[in-house]
Structure 1
Amino acid sequence: MDDLSPSLVTRITGVIHKQIASRQLSLGARLPSIRSLAEAQGVSKSTVVDAYDRLVAEGVITSRRGSGYFVAAPTAPLALSDIGPALDRQIDPLWLSRQSLETPDDYLKPGCGWLPPSWMPEDDIRRALRAVARNPKSNLVEYATPLGHLPLRQILSRRLGELDITVAPQQIMLVDSATQAIELLCRFLLKPGDTVLVDDPCYFNFLAKLRAHGVKVVGVARTAHGPDMAAFSAALEAHKPRLYITNTALHNPTGTTLSPLMAHRLLKLAEAHDLTIIEDDIYADFEPEPSARLTAFDGFERVIYVGGFSKTLSASMRCGYICVRGDWIDALIDLKIATIFSSHQLPAELVCAVISDGHYRKHVELIRQKLAALRGRTVESFERMGFKIGVVPQAGMFLWCELPGGRDASELAKRALAEKIVLAPGNAFSLSQSASGFLRFNIAQSQDGRVFEFLKRALG
């Protein structure tokens, strides 16, 4: 093939377009020299010259005599789907979320990450709405204070004590969700080019969020008891990460829980390598008995704790929180004001009302009982079809299942979607793309017989 073929030139222009779109090259940035780009891409210098000429003609870059080529066009709006590997949309984390959120009510959603609406305490929420509306002290029109509704922060302080986490109300900041909490913390802790460790597999939105922040993401294999410690230690030595984000309890998607021994080893490594950890504990209330928490052992020296109520109370009444060391709280307040100004007051008052009247504890206990009743028979149903489940969680809603016969989960998900069933293929959760044979199932959303009928036909 001739070196100046349109395909090679188009490939080079595509590389530059992608680097600009992903913020690797910003307005005014100098492009690689013709020689260096030719060597990096394995093409001739004339191919690069032709590609640069085309980009100049498009107005994307400009040439300065004796200085080289520079980005001339304003940076395009960030398109997360253009950053990172070109994934099939069935295993793209953002597309998986959109399928779960946008598909009509007649779709079955065994791959989604929340409980059925019928499981949620709608009567309690309506009762709380009436109570808040009648209370003359309720704040229905003003901005919330920077830390958020004090009575709820006081309740959270007491509740976290049950997990052996000692935190004062003034160390707790309310936000609109656990997702927003992690977004705020990424802004607080990271700059483009930093390295962040995640579990592999991990909650897929961690990957999308970190990609948007322009950081390098390194995955560490998740075992039954936490991250693979040898791989974790090697990643610390090789990549000098700034941050590690994890679910220690009822990990998403595997359902595994960090053991106390692994927690101590992890914190020793974090101290030795000056690593900060975000402990996302959004599933805490699904546990009948509390397991080990990094924050409880660490005392907020290098662990930040995040929680919320979307999984157990209401995904519509958004309310989350951040618990952090005392000397960081003022800087976080400033960042919160600069980026979101104020969190929503009304959801915080509603959550406070539901928790305060005693109904919330009864509600989460009922959820635990329902999930426990479903877990055993759902595992048996999957195993009869040939699925392998390495770890059967003691609590929570997720099962991490390996398909029989080396089947590809993304192909199965395509077929399922055509039959109005939303599945969650493993590679949506895997940075290394090593989970093509896995599916994450939500046992509460997998009870419709049509799910098992489809799987039997597809795997038969």
Structure 2
Amino acid sequence: MNDVSLTKTEMLMNSLRDRIASRALGPGDRMPSIRRFARTMGVSPSTVVEAYDRLAAEGIIHARRGSGFYVTGRNLPPMKVAEMGATRPRNVDPFWVSRQSLDPRPGALQPGCGWLPENWMPHNELRKGLRALAKSGEAVLTNYAGAHGSLALRQYLLGRFAEENLPAAPEQVMLTASASQAMDLICRLLLQPGDTVLVDDPGYFNFHALLQAHRVRLVGVPYTPDGPDLDAFEVILTDNTARLYLTNSALHNPTGATISPQVAYRLLTLAGAHDLTIVEDDTFADLEPDPSPRLAVLDGLNRVLKIGGFSKTLSASIRCGYIAGGADWIDALVDLQVATSFGGPSPVAAELLAGVLSGGSYRKHLVEIRGRLSSARKSAAARLAPLGITPWTQPRGGFYLWCRFPEGIDTGEVAKHCAQENVILAPGNVFSPSQSAASFMRFNVAQMADKRVLHVLENAMAAR
């Protein structure tokens, strides 16, 4: 809320300082015209003039005769990602929740994290791959990666795409350090500060934080068990000139939902009518029991960029991601990665993954993981039911359950109480740009075997 003791001029100055500090207005950018800004803010032009004059006296902006006011670039505070956008309470702040999972206290239980338990991963295959890699040529162990990344891993991906009925040429695929870096490169290439980007509400919170770092305007699209709410989507596109839409088509994070064919076709039609580019995050693809509709397949990589990685099924320690898209887009993204990282991801990581993925043991590993997850989902839902916690939808696969809590319970408060007992949860509003998911929570069913999880959760709900 605004401090009532501040004058209109001071409140206006604070608003402008916030825009400049967050780089929504960067060095050299022209400030809004006095009359237009006065109309936008509901103040008189003289109030804007006074605010501009006082900011100019502070050296933050300067006037150019006959042209207006411009940001100087002086006296700017360091840019802090965590301070961009609206401030959230700590218990539903994406950065705090991520840090709790990445730097847990000893003995922490993590049903709110986004990965499988260590003992579910294929350690023997990874060790075997490391031994084979140690005997490989010196180039893999010492040289930079090629601009597109490991040819062996890209050929594996092209084969998998062909199985999905997504024909692609080698020049349409590049490797990145992770799926998050893939998204970062796309943002750098396609977005400018102030652009509008559509995201699912709820949706993956770390991508929301990444977009926030790029100083874009996030608009949430309500998500349904069949995909984005297309009536709301169409209204949003009509009212906004959106540049990008980011989504999961299968095993959506956090809801576990999968897009229906009808929604997928209509979504692509809307995107074409409004010249909207779609980024389809396919990180959870291998956890599906059988393939479901993919926007990239239906679109043929025309206006859809497909990204993914291998940390969910193989190793979060040996990270590598990819981007598949039109050849012109990939060519520009490769140049950008060369400029920012001097080539693709580590050849050691990429060649190791290529070897493990191409071996026959990987498919067997996936069959085992899918079976264990199916049992874990049923078990988790049955154990949560007596607490009045119910799944919003029944996922076809994956390790997430998006659950609704009994009326009147704020999951952010529950998560705060559980954190004090060293149980890390992921409350709904961490995933919601509109902060409309206070009654929901995302559970990782693979991380709920310990009986203490339900015990601490029950106590937290009773203590509300």
User: Residues 59-106 of structure 1, C-alpha deviation per residue, up to 9 Å, x if partnerless?
Assistant: 434567897755344343321222211111221122221111122241
User: Residues 171-195 of structure 1, C-alpha deviation per residue, up to 9 Å, x if partnerless?
Assistant: 2101111111111111222222322
User: Residues 374-433 of structure 1, C-alpha deviation per residue, up to 9 Å, x if partnerless?
Assistant: 111210111211012220112100011111122111111111111111111111111111
Q: Output the TM-score relative to the length of structure 1.
A: 0.92
Cα distance in 1, alignment partners of residues 8 and 369 from structure 2? 57
Map of 1:16 onto structure 2: 16
Map of 1:102 onto structure 2: 103
> Cα–Cα, structure 1 residues 378 and 27, in superposed 2: closer, same or farther, change >3 Å?
same
Is residue 90–residue 413 contact of structure 1 (8 Å, CA) maintained in 2?
Answer: yes
Cα distance in 2, alignment partners of residues 367 and 347 from structure 1? 22
Map of 2:317 onto structure 1: 316
Map of 1:441 onto structure 2: 443
1:406 to 408, 413, 419: 408
Q: Report the CA distance between 1:161 and its aligned residue.
A: 2.1
> Cα–Cα, structure 1 residues 47 and 446, in superposed 2: closer, same or farther, change >3 Å?
farther
**Matching of residue 27 in structure 1 with residue 16 in structure 2:** no
Partner letter of residue 401 of structure 2? L
Map of 1:372 onto structure 2: 374
> Cα–Cα, structure 1 residues 260 and 48, in superposed 2: closer, same or farther, change >3 Å?
closer
> Cα–Cα, structure 1 residues 168 and 455, in superposed 2: closer, same or farther, change >3 Å?
same
SS in 2 for 1:148: coil
Structure 1: gaps of 5 or more residues: none
Q: Report the CA distance between 1:211 and its aligned residue.
A: 1.4
Cα distance in 2, alignment partners of residues 203 and 408 from structure 1? 20
Partner letter of residue 231 of structure 1? A
Q: Report the CA distance between 1:51 and its aligned residue.
A: 6.1
User: Residues 18-54 of structure 1, C-alpha deviation per residue, up to 9 Å, x if partnerless?
Assistant: 1111112222445457777677556788977876676
SS in 1 for 2:185: helix
**Matching of residue 181 in structure 1 with residue 177 in structure 2:** no
Map of 1:419 onto structure 2: 421
Map of 1:307 onto structure 2: 308
Q: Report the CA distance between 1:147 and its aligned residue.
A: 1.0
Cα distance in 1, alignment partners of residues 68 and 172 from structure 2? 51
Partner letter of residue 349 of structure 2? P
> Cα–Cα, structure 1 residues 67 and 177, in superposed 2: closer, same or farther, change >3 Å?
closer
Map of 1:326 onto structure 2: 327
**Matching of residue 278 in structure 1 with residue 285 in structure 2:** no
SS in 2 for 1:447: coil
Structure 2: gaps of 5 or more residues: none
Q: Report the CA distance between 1:451 and its aligned residue.
A: 1.0
Is residue 4–residue 46 contact of structure 1 (8 Å, CA) maintained in 2?
Answer: no
SS in 2 for 1:406: coil
Map of 1:250 onto structure 2: 251
Cα distance in 2, alignment partners of residues 70 and 269 from structure 1? 38
Cα distance in 2, alignment partners of residues 349 and 157 from structure 1? 15
More deviation in 38-47 or 293-302? 38-47
> Cα–Cα, structure 1 residues 152 and 399, in superposed 2: closer, same or farther, change >3 Å?
same
Partner letter of residue 440 of structure 2? F
Cα distance in 1, alignment partners of residues 288 and 80 from structure 2? 37
More deviation in 414-423 or 246-255? 414-423
Partner letter of residue 393 of structure 2? V
Number of residue pairs the alignment of both structures matches: 458
Q: What is the CA RMSD across the aligned residues, in angstroms?
A: 2.5
Cα distance in 1, alignment partners of residues 44 and 279 from structure 2? 46
Once the two structures are aligned, what percentage of the paired residues are identical? 51
Cα distance in 2, alignment partners of residues 440 and 140 from structure 1? 40
SS in 1 for 2:96: helix
SS in 1 for 2:391: coil
Map of 2:397 onto structure 1: 395
Q: Report the CA distance between 1:332 and its aligned residue.
A: 2.1
Cα distance in 1, alignment partners of residues 250 and 30 from structure 2? 46
User: Equivalent residues in 2 for 1:4-403 (5 A)?
Assistant: 5=5, 11-31=11-31, 55=55, 58-62=58-62, 70-74=70-74, 75-136=76-137, 139-343=140-344, 344-403=346-405
More deviation in 82-91 or 430-439? 82-91
User: Residues 197-217 of structure 1, C-alpha deviation per residue, up to 9 Å, x if partnerless?
Assistant: 111111012211111222222
Cα distance in 1, alignment partners of residues 327 and 46 from structure 2? 58
Q: Report the CA distance between 1:365 and its aligned residue.
A: 1.5
> Cα–Cα, structure 1 residues 39 and 147, in superposed 2: closer, same or farther, change >3 Å?
closer
Is residue 381–residue 390 contact of structure 2 (8 Å, CA) maintained in 1?
Answer: no
> Cα–Cα, structure 1 residues 188 and 44, in superposed 2: closer, same or farther, change >3 Å?
closer
Is residue 84–residue 212 contact of structure 2 (8 Å, CA) maintained in 1?
Answer: yes
Partner letter of residue 353 of structure 2? V
